[in-house]
Amino acid sequence: MSSDGLLPYPKMVGIDWSILSVVESNGQVDIEEPLAEVSLQAISQNGSEQVPSAPDASFEKQQPHHTTLEKEDKESLVNANLEVQGADPSVRDSDFFTIRCIGYAPLRLVQFGPFTRVYFVRNKKNPAQECMAKVESYNENKRTMGIEARVYLDCKGVRGFAELYDRFRTLNGSRVLLIQRLGTDLNRIRRAHPGQSLLHADALKLCLKTFTRIWSLHDRSWMHRNINPSNFVVGQPHSDFDDQIFIIDFGLARRCREKSRPFGACPILGADAYRPISNYSRVEYQPKDDIESWFYMCHEFFNGNLPWDKLPHTSTVDFKVHCRSLGRDLLLTNMPVMFDEILEGIDSSKTNVDYFRISALLKAELAKLSMKQLNEPFSWKKDPRIVYRAYKIEQGWK
């Protein structure tokens, strides 16, 4: 075991692609995944506290991953030489060298952060095999890649979690994760829509799918601690998984603690717009805080923005508190009525929320839609221009 308490990285060996398996998508709506069906009546009659538990991964149907290559990938419409906004060419060139050393050819820079970068890469020996490489430069104070690898290993085979293909540590201290190739994130997809808000049916489906991902993560004793639309992505276009929603970026994730740290010991985490109120006071992070961030994300799906988007960061927490009392209507604008009950459940909890209740409320709201709306593909699957705009946004276009 390494000094940071994580499992050691394996040697730089090849990937046995023949044994890789991933979860099969089962249609456009998939409103049952992966939770057990729970009726509203059964929940209301059971007054006892329920222990949240997502179904075991063995319930998921497994099949080998086969990417459809015949159809045109809309990403090819984007100039591969364009750079992600804020990218440092020297860091990018260093990453390219690292990626080539492990037997892959970098195709395109997808995301550039202060400590990690994400690239689309291709296996040199088999060009048909593409995946994503996440590279972390050596930094003694910021070592998040080991934690991310542990989450992927703990959630192996769970619907909505990318397959971890391999991991490496280079001689210069950089770490590389190779994971299943995915599509663009929900933040860029939302911004690519007219008015930057989603259709009502699409927003509802995404609320349930993203909630399910968080529930599955909590069920394996992990908290994400950075829930926002950028950390949920669609499956790779024209693949078996383009109807699925995946949760990514576990660099800030931590195990759920039985004993909390002293008050004030928790760092300020995540994006300010989606940060839970308790984290501003450095209160120990709890699973229910992930759900609070998820609620803000849902509001943005329906409205295209958050009530505090144009406020300075110093005023955000005060406005979030205001939205719990006199300004409550601002936080529930254009959202189904049942979100009021969900918000009440989040605010009244100290640790966990009633996952079964929230799931049942979301499913009951989806049941009000027509069969046509339920079975209709997401809007970005019907209109390729949305995907094109999303990838342009990825490269700095506004």
**Nearest alpha-carbon partner for 187 in 251, 285, 135, 111:** 111
In a domain, 157, yes or no: yes
Predicted model pTM: 0.79
Examine the domain organization and report whether 248 and 122 are in the same domain. no
Out of 180, 207, 226, pick the residue that ends a domain.
Answer: 180
Please determine, for residue 33, whether its predicted confidence score (pLDDT) is greater than 60: no
Q: Helix or strand or coil: residue 73?
A: coil
Whole domain around residue 96: which residue ranges?
87-180
SS3 content of the chain, % helix, strand, coil (to 5): 40, 15, 45
251-310: per-residue pLDDT in tens?
A: 999 998 766 665 557 888 889 999 999 999 988 899 999 999 999 999 999 999 999 999
In a domain, 81, yes or no: no
pLDDT given at position 137: 80
Q: How far is the C-alpha of 159 from the C-alpha of 61, rounded, in Å?
A: 10
Please determine, for residue 141, whether its predicted confidence score (pLDDT) is greater than 90: no
CB 35 within 8 A of CB 55: yes
In a domain, 373, yes or no: yes
Across 176-184, average pLDDT: 92
In a domain, 321, yes or no: yes
Buried b (16+ CB within 10 A) or exposed e, 267-299: eebbeebbbbbbbeebbbbbbbbbbbbbbbbbb
Examine the domain organization and report whether 292 and 358 are in the same domain. yes
pLDDT given at position 88: 64
Domain with residue 119: its CATH number is: 3.30.200.20
In a domain, 14, yes or no: no
Q: How far is the C-alpha of 374 from the C-alpha of 376, rounded, in Å?
A: 6
The total domain count for the chain is: 2
